Structure 1
Amino acid sequence: MRDRDRRAWDTPELGRRGSCAGGVNTPTDQPLLVRKARVSDAPRLRQLGILGWETTYTDFIRPENRAAYLSGAFWSIETLSRVIVGPENLALVAEHPQSGVIGFLTIEPYAPDRRKLELTRFYVHPDWRRSGVGSLLLDAALEQIKHLHASALMVNVFARNAVGRAFYERAGFHLVDIVPVMVGDQIDDDAWYELPLDGDKQAHTPG
């Protein structure tokens, strides 16, 4: 990323709070806190990622291929820790006073085009889905990103993940490509989405 203002990542407590009606165990008098992730959060982030895969992709990714992917470097504690502390990365968590960290996302430079960023991980505990946690996290991330010189935020999602695709489309992402991807020994399709980050065109996330 050219001339990125790394100071944008420096505030660990973002102070962004919100209540999430409609979920499980979501008392409105105990709002969620969105904060910067710490290295000590890495095991929990790995756990949330595994939960996400095991509750979302069971219909089309075979168990042995899910296991192979989740045991790889992308989800290792070491990799997650490096992402959390990386000066060019952003890692945010949503934290509940009783339940702890119940969602997170990570943003890194987009390798094919360093003018862009990539949303590399985005997971919410199954009990808290459709309760507004994802929107709260993405809103907080977009607030941080707007101070940078990135031209767009990229994300990929399995083409067969209709719920995930609908979320990104409501948030203003537009489909740019569908490409084959290997998951273990099976081939699936990834849908790549892009969200422009050019000021007035930056979208608001769904409520």
Structure 2
Amino acid sequence: MSGITYRDASPADAAALAVLARRTFTDTFGHLYTPENLAAFLASHTDEAWTALLADPARHIHVAEVDGELAGYISVGPPTLPIVPDGRPIELRQLYVLKPWQGEGVAAHLMDWAIARGRALGADAMYLSVFVDNARARRFYDRYGFTFVQTYAFMVGTHADEDHILRLAL
């Protein structure tokens, strides 16, 4: 689809990324949680938190933009998942695309960027977690060759979701 541009995020994107992160998470998963648990989770997506992430040299964030508005983003950085990896892993932290742009190749472009960035940083594996009932995302990751490692309790407020940790050899 034309009109989509891609670039590395800059500090000036902090507020837009905070809004995008809250919106995409709520659109995708908001119906699963009590208002209190959803609010507790979304409270971590502030302008200040995104400003700090964008200033962290170990975090790499790439965005998709349409007509000056963010349509999606991906973030990679050092592993935080409860894994015992060998080698030099990197973690895909977030990959979200607004609904109007899903199915338009945005996620694939962002994923290709993340894999290339991981390799350029010297990583030999990429890890991520995906909600067990997110069949669309799981099919997407399967196409890239990610394989199951273990289950993981992803916390949204006091609610524990069952996620699968996946791995891709780079």
TM interval, shorter chain, is 0.7 to 0.9
3-state SS in 1 of match to 2:103: coil
Q: How far 1:51 moved relative to its partner?
A: 1.4
Name the SS of the counterpart of 2:96 in structure 1.
Answer: strand
User: Which runs of structure 1 show a deviation greater than 4 angstroms over 4 or more consecutive aligned residues?
Assistant: none
User: What corresponds to 2:72 in structure 1?
Assistant: 103
Distance between the aligned counterparts of 1:119 and 1:64, measured in 2? 27
- Structure 1 188/144 Cα, relative in aligned 2: closer, same or farther at 3 Å? closer
Work out the CA distance in 1 between the residues paired with 2:152 and 2:114: 26
Structure 2 counterparts to residues 190-201 of structure 1, below 5 A: 190-197=163-170
Q: Structure 1-normalised TM-score? A: 0.73
Q: Which residue does the alignment assign to 2:18?
A: 46
Looking at secondary structure, tell me which structure has more helix per residue.
Answer: 2
SS of 1:57 mapped into structure 2: helix
**Identical counterparts, % of pairs:** 31
Superposed CA RMSD:
1.8
Match of 1:35 in 2: 7
**Uncovered stretches (5+) of structure 1, i.e. residues with no partner:** 1-19, 21-27, 198-207
Q: 1:99 deviation in Å?
A: 4.8
Q: Which residue does the alignment assign to 1:200? A: none
Give CA deviations for 1:29-70 in whole Å, capped at 9, x if unaligned.
x3x221110111111111111111221113422332111100
Structure 1 equivalent of residue 155 of structure 2:
182
1:130 aligned partner, one-letter code: G
| Partners of 2:14 and 2:106 in 1: CA distance | 19
Please give the alpha-carbon distance, in whole angstroms, between the structure 2 residues aligned to 1:67 and 1:50. 10
Q: Deviations for 1:153-172, whole angstroms, at most 9, x for unmatched residues? A: 11112112221212111122
Whole-angstrom distance in 2 between the partners of 1:92 and 1:158: 22
Q: For 1:45 and 1:64, how far apart are their aligned partners in 2?
A: 22
The aligned length equals 166
The structure 2 residue matched to 1:134, chosen from 99, 104, 107, is 107
User: Which of the numbers 81, 92, 96 marks the counterpart of 1:123?
Assistant: 96
* Rounded Cα–Cα distance in structure 1 between residues aligned with 2:101 and 2:16: 15
Structure 2 segments unaligned to the other structure (5+ residues): none
Structure 2 counterpart of 1:133, one-letter code: V
CA distance change for structure 1 residues 54 and 35 in 2, over 3 Å: closer, same or farther? same
C-alpha separation in 2, matches of 1:151 and 1:192: 16
Local SS of the residue matching 2:21: helix
Whether the 8 Å CA contact 2:129–2:166 is kept in 1: the answer is yes
Q: Are residues 1:62 and 2:3 paired?
A: no
| Residue 92 (structure 1) shift | 0.5
Separation in 1, partners of 2:130, 2:99: 17
For residues 142 and 31 of structure 2, what CA distance do their matches in structure 1 show? 22
Q: TM-score, normalised by structure 2?
A: 0.88
